[in-house]
Amino acid sequence: MARNDMKDPETADLLGLHTAWRDVVGTERTTAAEVAEKAKDHTNLMQALSAIGCVERGQIVNTKRLGKYLGTVTDRRLNGLRIQRLADRSGAGVWRLAGTEVGGNGGFGGMDPSPTREGVDVSSCMGDQQPTHESHESPPSAGAAAAIASACEACGATAWWEETAPGVWACKACKAPIGAGYAAGAAEGEV
């Protein structure tokens, strides 16, 4: 959605939050209190929080209000970005901006060193390296590790990323999830 196509102020405000969050916080896991702390040093983030009604007199971010707001916009996609709710940390919601990778100018694309379903040999271009799958936060569970070592059952792709929570992985091509449920099924011999 192009910025000038937005006639809804709430959508424009959310896009402003996504943009400021991307610039200041990136894709790291964070709480509303941590976002509020970072806003003290980043005017663009403070302005975005103010636009969504989470800043009180004296430039103080109301973290409870911010947490409630984030809950109402969880997984709403704008320009390829969305705010995800992850597991709680000591009773506080943990959030992450997900979607399009943060940073860089796009470059020229490069190549995917993962072997394809057709079994293309990539060893000639990889030297001694073995194909790997990305991990943004934590290593996969035993069940997920078995799954990401093979092709996606839904589309046949072989590239994966950690999508929603530790141990829950998704296919890069079709976004099909694997992880906690897959690991349980693998342990019971259902896979």
Q: Whole-number mean pLDDT of the chain? A: 72
Confidence of residue 44 (pLDDT cuts 50, 70, 90): very high
Q: Taking the model in full, what pTM does it have?
A: 0.51
Question: Which of 51-65, 102-116, 126-140 has maximum average pLDDT?
Answer: 51-65
Going by C-alpha positions, the residue among 52, 71, 17 that lies closest to residue 25 is: 17
Of the CA atoms within 13 Å of residue 13, those in its CB half-sphere come to 14
Residue by residue, DSSP assigns 82-104 as: EEEEEEEETTEEEEEEEESPPSS
- Contacts with 77 (C-beta within 8 Å, 6 or more apart), sequence order: 99
Q: Work out whether the CA dihedral 151, 152, 153, 155 comes out positive or negative.
A: negative
Are residues 54 and 65 in contact, defined by beta-carbon separation less than 8 angstroms? Answer: yes
Which two tokens mark 51? 């636009």
Helix (H, G, I), strand (E, B) or coil at 61: strand
Q: What is the DSSP letter of 129?
A: P
CA-CA distances (angstroms) from residue 75 to 80, 83, 124, 154? Answer: 11, 5, 41, 22
Cβ-based neighbour number of residue 95 at 10 Å: 24
Over residues 96-132, the pLDDT tens digits come to 999 854 454 444 455 454 444 444 444 444 445 444 4
The pLDDT of residue 51 is above 80: yes
